[in-house]
Amino acid sequence: MSSILYSDKNLPPEVCQALKVLDKHLTFINRVEVIDGYGRSYVNLNVVAMNIGIQDDMSTLKLFVEDING
């Protein structure tokens, strides 16, 4: 599935193009980590698919992660 489908429909063309390029490489990712001021707040070592969503007038980044557990 394309990350563009998870994003707002009114994204600038250059952002849509960047998401298309990223989608080609996201298939190689099998681990996702979110690092904040306290360290690793989210770690998933069993990722089988991931998409990026850019929403709310480009103020929100969402990661849609599918792991081996469903």
User: How does pLDDT run across 35-57, given as a tens digit for each residue?
Assistant: 999 999 999 999 998 888 999 99
Mean of per-residue pLDDT scores for the chain:
90
Q: How far apart are CA 66 and CA 56, in angstroms?
A: 23
Q: Is the pTM of this model over 0.75?
A: yes
Domain count, the chain: 1
Q: How far apart are CA 45 and CA 67, in angstroms?
A: 8
Helices (H), ranges, 1-70: 13-26
- pLDDT tier, 14 (very low <50, low <70, confident <90, very high otherwise): very high
Domain residues for the domain of 23 are: 3-67
Q: How far apart are CA 8 and CA 30, in angstroms?
A: 26
